[in-house]
């Protein structure tokens, strides 16, 4: 629980940087959409088809290792609790 509180505090601090079209990589059930959706023009959530969170909130099915978007398609990218699950975190970050 403490980790979630720290993450939420950091996201609240970072929300002033959110703008334009936003991609939430590994969005799950989009728990942060209420924090960001009113600050951006569009909030797109992507997650694996096999996500244990279900697909009700997803906008796009896809893999963080091979995002189905052209470079520079988004102004803001949110990626929490994903990097520890991918084989090459640096590739995802690039």
Nearby residues of 51 by Cβ (< 8 Å), 6 or more positions away: 26, 28, 58
Q: What is the pLDDT of residue 11?
A: 94
Burial of 18 (0-12, 13-18, 19+ CB in 10 A): buried
Q: What is the pLDDT of residue 60?
A: 94
Query: Is 79 in contact with 85 (CB distance < 8 Å)?
Result: no
Torsions phi, psi of 67, nearest 5?
Answer: -65, 140
What pTM was estimated for this model as a whole?
0.89
Q: What is the pLDDT of residue 53?
A: 75
Low-confidence ranges of the chain (pLDDT < 70): 1-3, 54
């Amino acid at each position: 629980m403490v980790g979630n509180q720290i993450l939420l505090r950091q996201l609240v601090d970072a929300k002033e940087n959110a703008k334009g079209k936003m991609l939430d990589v590994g969005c799950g059930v989009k728990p942060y959409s209420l924090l960001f959706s009113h600050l951006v023009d569009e909030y797109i959530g992507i997650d694996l088809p096999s996500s244990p969170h279900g697909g009700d909130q997803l906008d796009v099915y896809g893999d963080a290792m091979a995002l189905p978007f052209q470079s520079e398609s988004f102004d803001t990218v949110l990626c929490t609790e994903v990097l520890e699950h991918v084989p090459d975190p640096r590739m995802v970050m690039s």
